[in-house]
């Protein structure tokens, strides 16, 4: 099977999740929206020409009946490649419930053993696009990183935009960035979509900093690696139970600084995302009166460095899977 076939199959997976979930946009029911995304994604995986194992998903088997960690997905024929699969069928559950921008469906995939098996806990993250690769250090201050990234991008600090999740724990980042004259853009939810935007100059986002979910961090790191950017991270377990959980997933040193190659160990990984609601990079799903749905997706490969934007027009009367 040609890689291009696997790539397009990956897009179909995120398209299916987005189309099903988008029907719940603005209805105030994040649980139903998330379940719809999971349903669509799982069904679409049946047509994926791989032997896949979910390493980042909706949770453990006892907490997530579908797309759970360890679940086998794909066509699973003997001649197909074994792959790690990381999924977030709906990144931005609150966003879609409110009808807000930047809800997306995402999947990352790489050879077996290539994606960090990140526990469901907090992770400190810092990320930039290719233009500022080599300019960040998670152990340095906010001001030092802002100045370094601005220099790498040949910008004045006052022209640099730092994106930060609007949480009390990030107040110090906001204050330090503003104190040296940088611009700060706050967002409410959706780590993956926001970090993804760092890879595109036209997004206006130069630097991501903050603490968010570890599983989302690995998925976002796959996209950053495909685009030639840089990301650093550190797990932040808040209890002894979480530390034990880390070790059970093969992470011995929970204090280790994780660089992009620790998060994503292969140079041959794929990433796909489909917009559910309109966002910075992708338009959301739109429906026509003639039972068609239009989707806007992005798919990329770290091996080739190619980033493709894909527009799909789906006849909803012809496929139960809406792919």
Binding region for Mn(2+): 34, 58, 88, 91, 216
DSSP string, 24-63: TTTSS-HHHHHHHHHHHHHHHHTT-SSEEEEEESS--TTT
Q: How far apart are alpha carbons 303 and 249 in whole angstroms?
A: 27
What sections of the chain are H helices per DSSP?
A: 3-22, 30-45, 93-98, 142-152, 171-179, 191-197, 214-226, 240-248, 260-263
The residue among 217, 222, 215, 202 whose CA lies nearest residue 273 is 222
**SS3 at position 76:** coil
Determine the distance from the C-alpha atom of residue 113 to the mean position of all C-alpha atoms in its chain, rounded to a whole number. 18
Residue 231 buriedness (CB in 10 A; 0-12 / 13-18 / 19+):
buried
DSSP string, 124-162: EEEEE-GGGTT---TTS-HHHHHHHHHHHTT--GGG-EE
Determine the distance from the C-alpha atom of residue 23 to the mean position of all C-alpha atoms in its chain, rounded to a whole number. 21
Q: Tell me the angle at which helices 171-179 and 142-152 cross, rounded to the nearest 10 degrees.
A: 50
Quick check: 49 and 74 in contact, CB under 8 A? yes
Which residues are annotated as part of the binding site? 34, 58, 88, 91, 216
DSSP 257: P
């Amino acid at each position: 099977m040609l890689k291009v076939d696997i790539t397009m199959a990956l897009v179909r997976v995120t398209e299916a999740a987005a189309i099903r979930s988008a029907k719940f946009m603005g209805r105030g029911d994040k649980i139903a929206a998330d379940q719809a995304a999971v349903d669509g994604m799982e069904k679409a995986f049946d047509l994926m020409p791989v032997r896949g194992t979910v390493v980042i998903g909706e949770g453990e088997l006892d907490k997530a009946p579908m797309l759970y960690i360890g679940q086998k997905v794909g066509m699973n024929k003997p001649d197909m490649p074994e792959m790690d699969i990381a999924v977030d069928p709906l990144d931005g559950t609150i966003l879609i419930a409110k009808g807000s921008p930047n809800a997306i469906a995402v999947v990352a995939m790489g050879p077996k053993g290539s994606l960090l098996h990140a526990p469901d806990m907090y992770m400190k993250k810092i990320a930039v696009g290719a233009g500022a690769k080599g300019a960040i250090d998670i152990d340095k201050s906010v001001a030092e990183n802002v100045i370094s990234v601005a220099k790498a991008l040949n910008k004045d600090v006052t022209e640099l935009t730092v994106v930060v999740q609007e949480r009390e724990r990030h107040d110090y980042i906001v204050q330090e960035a503003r104190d040296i004259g940088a611009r700060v853009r706050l967002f409410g939810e959706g780590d993956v979509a926001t970090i993804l935007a760092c890879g595109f100059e036209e997004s206006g986002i130069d630097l991501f900093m903050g603490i968010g979910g570890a599983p989302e961090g690995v998925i976002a790191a796959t996209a950053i690696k495909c685009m030639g950017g840089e990301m650093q991270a550190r797990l932040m377990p808040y209890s002894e139970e979480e530390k034990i959980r880390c070790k059970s997933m093969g992470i011995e040193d929970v204090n280790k600084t994780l660089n992009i190659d620790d998060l994503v160990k292969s140079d041959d990984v794929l990433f796909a995302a489909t917009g559910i609601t309109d966002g910075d990079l992708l338009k959301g799903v739109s429906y026509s009166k003639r039972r068609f749905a239009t989707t806007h997706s992005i798919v990329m490969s770290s091996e080739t460095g190619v980033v493709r934007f894909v527009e799909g027009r789906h006849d909803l009367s012809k496929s139960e899977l809406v792919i």
